Amino acid sequence: MTVKAGEQDVFQDALARLSQIANDAGIGSEVMGALAHPMETLTASLRVRMDDGSTQYFVGYRCRYNDALGPTKGGIRFHPGVTLEEVQALALWMTIKCAVVGIPYGGAKGGVTVDPKKLSRLELERLSRAYIRAMSEFIGPDVDIPAPDVYTNERIMGWMMDEYSSILKAKKPGVITGKPISLGGSLGRAEATGRGAFLCIEELATRKGLDRAKTSVAVQGFGNAGYFVAKFLEEQGYRIVALSDSNGGVYAEAGLDVESANTVKQESGCLEGAPPRAGAKGTVVRQISNEELLALDVDILIPAALEAVITAQNAGSIRARHIVEVANGPVTSSGDEVLNRRGIPVLPDVLCNAGGVTVSYFEWVQNLQGYSWTLDEVRARLKDKITAAFAEMWQLAQRERITLRAAAYRNGLRRIANAVEALGTRDYFLDGA
């Protein structure tokens, strides 16, 4: 993650936002002390034999941020922009996220600085296994449970689980979530992040009285989460007018066909050639940049790619009526200030993309029980968790007249504070002196 001009590095920005919200909420200094410092971070050089016989070294990270509420949990991303600061910021957000939806996990995150598109499949497997060998004493089903993230998937999680099991000489499916179904994965995990965001938007639409057929949506980042949230919204009648990936995007005022757009991307590696939705023949589909997509006049803008895409520099050009964060940290704290002044509500990432970690929790529970749930069970339990957390956030925001992000953070911080205080704080010990 490169630092944008005029912005703090991503971790310092995350800490600044947390500090402001916690200060306004009256969160105690001991809780903030625990959340201001990552519990432990491991950095490793990963030695990988390449297909041409050469050896290359890649830097891998794993941060276990806070375990007040339970074993730590967080994805592993393979991306050329991965840095220590990014991993720590993501682990902090995971800590808050797990608390917001009320699951018994702390936060963690991992990553490797690599462009996975330049690796062969065999090189990708060797790198995945090298990462787990380096982290094997740092993770575990009762300690820290990784999952997929940017440019990692269920096959990579399967390799990682297999490597960990080989090291321990025992099958340990609970060490990794987001695995293939045949290796202990959960039904509904692949769609979970997108479904969680979709459920949040449905809650928003109900409370705001939005006419779904007239609600236009733009999705920046047409990866796993972006695809599924667009798919579910389209199925409910929302008009998906723009989609983009790292190569650029497409726009059609009458709406795009999400499933066909996904097929085009899988076959060609980009969205060029994606068709309009059925019944909109004759509609012109034009190519746009990611920057143009962010500035579209739409009802709902969904940044679903990487962090820090909406900043103080471009927040003034945002014309969307609502922003739904599906990526982690797509709006910086300074960008938030501009959007707040302009009256553009932001549904925060710590709830909107919590579907993934929630179903990861369900997968972990199933692995520990040795019993699989049906897809309907997974979806129903996910809906219960997301809608309850949304209602809790919405009610607090309305009652206290604060932003939705501040309300979500306050709810999460309250749960973390309860756990910290249960072990005794300065006030408790002084009272007994």
Q: How far, in Å, CA of 109 to CA of 91, rounded?
A: 5
Q: How far, in Å, CA of 61 to CA of 53, rounded?
A: 25
Task: Name the 3-class secondary structure at 239.
Answer: strand
Task: Tell me the CA distances in angstroms from 247 to 215, 223, 291, 295, 297, one per residue in order.
Answer: 26, 12, 12, 17, 21
CA 166 to chain centre: 29
Residue 109 designated active-site? yes
- Burial class, 358, CB count within 10 angstroms (exposed 0-12 / middle 13-18 / buried 19+): buried
What amino acid is encoded at 59 in this protein?
V
Q: How far, in Å, CA of 33 to CA of 19, rounded?
A: 10
Q: How far, in Å, CA of 255 to CA of 214, rounded?
A: 11
Q: Which of 61, 60, 65 is nearest to 89 (CA)?
A: 65
- Beta-carbon contacts of residue 107 (< 8 Å; ≥ 6 apart): 65, 66, 72, 73, 74, 91, 92, 93, 94, 95, 96, 97, 98
Q: Given the structure tokens 């992040």, which residue do they identify?
A: 193
DSSP per-residue codes, 340-403: HHTT--EE-HHHHTTHHHHHHHHHHHHHHHT-PPPHHHHHHHHHHHHHHHHHHHHHHHHHHT--
CA 135 to chain centre: 22
Question: Is residue 366 a contact partner of residue 373, using CB atoms and an 8 Å limit?
Answer: yes
Among residues 73, 97, 109, 231, which one is catalytic?
Answer: 109
- Report the 10 Å Cβ neighbour count for 213: 9
- Beta-carbon contacts of residue 341 (< 8 Å; ≥ 6 apart): none
Residue 431: phi and psi, rounded to 5, are -65, -30
Which tokens go with 97? 């996220």
Residue 251: phi and psi, rounded to 5, are -140, 135
Compute the CA torsion angle 85, 7, 336, 419 (nearest 10 deg). 30
Question: Is residue 95 a contact partner of residue 65, using CB atoms and an 8 Å limit?
Answer: yes
| Residues assigned a catalytic role | 109
